[in-house]
Amino acid sequence: MARSPTGPKGGKGKGGNTSGRGQRDLKVKVKSARGRKMSSTLWLQRQLNDPYVKRAQAEGMRGRAAYKISEIDDKYRFLLPGARVVDLGCAPGGWCQVAAKRVNALGERTGKAQGSVLGIDLQEVEPIPGVELHVLDFLEDDADERVKEWLGGTADVVMSDMAAASSGHKQTDHLRIIALCEAAAYFAFDVLDEGGVFVAKVLAGGAEGDLQKLLKQRFKKVFNFKPGASRSDSSEKFVVATGFKGRE
């Protein structure tokens, strides 16, 4: 469930003058090494030239995905001071970093901690200031009860940037991530407080209709959003469901 790590830093080059004209970012080209697949070479080259990767490195974020949740929250405003947040499949932790700051989990704005962020993943995650981390499979029968115990109650936000392992077959991958998103939604039904918010990544591909229908039954409003930090050639988008109607 881990997201792709950021690559090495790229550099900036200057033209041969001192006026500032002609200054530009130099694209890094990666030569194919013996034994390395071309797809790996292209991925590495894209990472080295990705402005969000460079920004994440400069700002100490754990991946470019941090800017996706930042943009989503800028638009829909759910990571409010005092909110209790659960991040499913949180590795490497970029979403948790953003959430901890915005809900004021460390008390940086007021001198006293307000919100709380709980990150869970199948693997151990390096500690993040203001975030409580646990190794847990959210599909386990008692996962919802354990999460509420750790939170000390229900959650205001359940969010997920999870993606199933790629099979290389577009339609198969689409179905897998929709199934994962539906499972995350049912988990959210069990842990969200009334009025809560659910945010999850999906891949466009035609099978998300049932998910949309399910969410519209349980939330007052459902939106679809593709943040600028999502790569233009990616079919990913994010579903944002607000105003949880409560458990049946």
Residue 164 carries which DSSP code?
Answer: P
Residue with tokens 């842990």: 191
Tokens of 219: 């939330």
DSSP string, 186-217: HHHHHHEEEEEEEEEEEE-SS--HHHHHHHHH
Six-digit token string for 232: 């233009």
In whole angstroms, how far apart are CA 157 and each of 23, 43, 141, 170, 209? 43, 32, 20, 30, 23
Q: Has 95 been labeled as part of a binding site?
A: yes
> Does the annotation count 201 as an active-site position?
yes
Residue 193: other Cβ atoms inside 10 A: 17
Residue 93 assigned to a binding site: yes
Question: Which residue's entry shows tokens 């002609």?
Answer: 22
| DSSP string computed for 141-154 | TTHHHHHHHHHTS-
Rounded Cα gap, residues 15 and 114, in angstroms: 49
**Is 161 annotated for ligand binding?**
yes
| Catalytic residue chosen out of the listed positions 201, 213, 226, 237 | 201
List residues forming the annotated binding site: 93, 95, 121, 137, 161
Q: Give me the active site residues, please.
A: 201
List residues forming the annotated binding site for S-adenosyl-L-methionine: 93, 95, 121, 137, 161
